[in-house]
């Protein structure tokens, strides 16, 4: 097999080639390119036989519509498996609706990993452009498994021992890293403080730019990396919330060391901070199922439709989290009372200018979920509430 069969095939079509011969195992990957005849071969003798003796090759054509249908049918995790946790589910719905980054904070066993794994099930399906973009990146690392086209949003959860090159991309022949393999999907960093600090630092720029550029002496490559960051962590090194009722309270120094592992600038880029408390036993034992992913996804999809409409004249921005400062000024206008509310929250929580912008974007999404034209005070108040890590005294 070769790497990058899809980008090469796209290039071939662009250059006006009619057909393309490549190893059989890459044929499906390239076969999604329309108006290009793709021939997969097992042996080079098949190629010589084609040219010398006119023995025909069999073209591979991928039925894109069928691919979409097949892959969207199988979603193994569903929110209906989660008992209780309505508040966390609400927060994840907002994250999904606006493409915002989110961190789940809670003690061991509270269900953080379980919840995070269900996020893709409420994201709207990818459109064909998104599917192609994502498949191209995966094609470069040579990982297209079945059917040629990736139609489901990626969900990547690298282990905390990952290197910075593996995370953001790099190498002598620069390869995309996990952040690009998550493009149009979710990058899940479970147990965030376990990651090496330097590894998290290199993510800061790409998180902002949604693109990563790798420079070499003679060339530079850029890979897109527009992903939703989903992180989880325990509230303290002991694993539990560090309040006065906690039996294993960590000292201020221990807390500082623990929190110091994740830098302020990184946390600042996470729009939604949500505490996950364990569900009490009687609730876990309940037969009643929670709301399922399909219903939540319908609301998310509707909220996204408002965003698509809002940004229709802009090719780069599709959802609220991607708004530039200028767009925030245009689309997130507050009335006087709300402006005052945000101003006092900024002071109380000691928020940065970036946090200010991010709160506005989240408010916009909450308003979109209610199909409201304007951001109202209650939307803003809810958005502010999701900055718990900025809250004074949270660290004990």
Ligand X SMILES: Nc1ncnc2c1ncn2[C@@H]1O[C@H](COP(=O)(O)OP(=O)(O)OP(=O)(O)O)[C@@H](O)[C@H]1O
What residues line the site for ligand X (CB under 6 A)?
82-85, 106, 108-114, 234, 279, 284
166 binds, among Mg ion, ligand X, none (CB under 5 to 8 A by kind): none
Residue with tokens 């996204």: 304
Where in 54-191 does DSSP place strands (E)? 102-105, 155-156, 169-170, 175-176, 186-189
- CB closer to Mg ion out of 113 and 277: 113
82 binds, among ligand X, Mg ion, none (CB under 5 to 8 A by kind): ligand X
Which own/partner contact pairs does 284-292 have at CB distance under 8 Å and 24+ positions apart? Answer: 284/83, 284/84, 286/83, 289/80, 289/81, 290/79, 290/80, 290/81, 290/82, 290/83, 290/84, 290/85, 290/86, 290/89, 291/79, 291/80, 291/89, 292/78, 292/79, 292/80
The answer to whether residue 322 forms part of the interface with Mg ion (CB under 5 A) is no
- CB closer to ligand X out of 13 and 83: 83
Site for Mg ion in 144-173 (CB under 5 A): none
Distance in angstroms (rounded) separating the CA atoms of residues 119 and 392: 29
**Shortest spacing between CB 18 and ligand X, in angstroms:** 52
169 binds, among Mg ion, ligand X, none (CB under 5 to 8 A by kind): none
**Shortest spacing between CB 108 and Mg ion, in angstroms:** 7
**Shortest spacing between CB 112 and Mg ion, in angstroms:** 5
Residue nearest to ligand X (CB): 111
- CB closer to ligand X out of 116 and 202: 116
Copy the structure tokens of residue 167.
């995370």
279 binds, among ligand X, Mg ion, none (CB under 5 to 8 A by kind): ligand X
Copy the structure tokens of residue 38.
């793709």
**Shortest spacing between CB 258 and ligand X, in angstroms:** 14
Distance in angstroms (rounded) separating the CA atoms of residues 98 and 317: 11
88 binds, among Mg ion, ligand X, none (CB under 5 to 8 A by kind): none
Residue with tokens 């025909």: 56
Residue nearest to Mg ion (CB): 113
Distance in angstroms (rounded) separating the CA atoms of residues 201 and 199: 5
Distance in angstroms (rounded) separating the CA atoms of residues 200 and 163: 10
- CB closer to Mg ion out of 106 and 147: 106
The two beta strands, 19-23 and 37-41, are parallel
**Shortest spacing between CB 124 and ligand X, in angstroms:** 24
Q: For the stretch 260-279, what's the b/e string if a residue is b when 16 or more beta carbons lie within 10 angstroms of its beta carbon?
A: eebeeebbbbbbbbbbbeeb
**Shortest spacing between CB 254 and Mg ion, in angstroms:** 21
**Shortest spacing between CB 105 and ligand X, in angstroms:** 10
The answer to whether residue 113 forms part of the interface with Mg ion (CB under 5 A) is yes
- CB closer to Mg ion out of 96 and 231: 231
Could you tell me which of 265, 262, 165 has the C-alpha nearest to residue 223? Answer: 165
Copy the structure tokens of residue 301.
């999809």
109 binds, among ligand X, Mg ion, none (CB under 5 to 8 A by kind): ligand X
Which of helix, strand or coil describes residue 39? Answer: strand
Binding mask 67-106 for Mg ion (x = CB under 5 A): ----------------------------------------
Specify the stretch interacting with Mg ion by CB under 5 A; choose among 12-20, 111-119, 156-164, 247-255. 111-119
- CB closer to Mg ion out of 113 and 388: 113
Where in the chain does DSSP place strands (E)? 19-23, 37-41, 102-105, 155-156, 169-170, 175-176, 186-189, 211-215, 220-224, 228-233, 272-275
**Shortest spacing between CB 190 and Mg ion, in angstroms:** 6
Chain contacts with Mg ion (rule: CB under 5 A):
113
């Amino acid at each position: 097999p070769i790497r990058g069969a899809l980008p090469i095939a796209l290039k071939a079509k662009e250059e006006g080639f009619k057909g393309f011969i490549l190893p059989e195992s890459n044929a499906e990957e390239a076969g999604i390119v329309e108006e290009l005849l793709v021939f997969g071969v097992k042996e080079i003798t098949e190629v010589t036989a084609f040219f010398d003796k006119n023995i025909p090759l069999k073209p591979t054509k991928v039925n894109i519509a069928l691919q979409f249908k097949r892959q969207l049918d199988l979603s193994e995790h569903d929110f209906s498996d989660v008992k209780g946790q309505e508040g966390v589910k609400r927060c994840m719905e907002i994250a999904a609706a606006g493409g915002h980054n989110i961190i789940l904070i809670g003690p061991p066993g509270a269900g953080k990993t379980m919840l995070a794994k269900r996020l893709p099930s409420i994201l709207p399906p990818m459109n064909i452009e998104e599917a192609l973009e994502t498949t191209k990146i995966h094609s470069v690392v040579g990982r297209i498994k079945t059917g040629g086209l990736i139609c489901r949003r990626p969900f990547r959860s690298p282990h905390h021992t990952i290197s910075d090159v593996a995370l953001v991309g790099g190498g002598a022949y620069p390869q995309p890293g996990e952040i690009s393999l998550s493009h149009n999907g979710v990058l899940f960093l479970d147990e965030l403080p376990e990651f090496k600090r330097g590894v998290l630092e290199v993510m800061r720029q790409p998180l902002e730019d949604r693109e990563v550029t790798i420079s070499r002496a003679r060339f530079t490559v850029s890979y897109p990396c527009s992903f939703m960051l989903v992180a989880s962590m325990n509230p303290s090194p002991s694993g539990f919330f560090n309040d006065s009722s906690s039996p294993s309270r960590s000292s201020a120094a221990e807390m500082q060391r623990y929190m110091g592992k994740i830098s302020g600038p990184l946390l600042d880029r996470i729009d939604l901070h949500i505490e996950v408390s364990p569900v009490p036993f009687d609730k876990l034992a309940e037969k009643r199922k929670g709301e399922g992913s399909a219903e939540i996804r319908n609301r998310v999809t509707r909220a996204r439709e408002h965003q698509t409409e809002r940004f229709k004249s802009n090719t780069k921005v599709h959802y609220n989290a991607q708004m530039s400062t200028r767009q925030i000024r245009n689309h997130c206008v507050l009335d006087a009372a709300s402006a005052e509310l945000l101003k006092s929250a900024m002071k109380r929580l000691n928020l940065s200018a970036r946090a200010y912008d991010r709160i506005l974007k989240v408010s916009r999404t909450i308003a979109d979920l209610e199909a409201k034209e304007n951001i109202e005070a209650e939307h803003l108040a809810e958005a502010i509430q999701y900055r718990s890590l900025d809250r004074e005294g949270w660290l004990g």
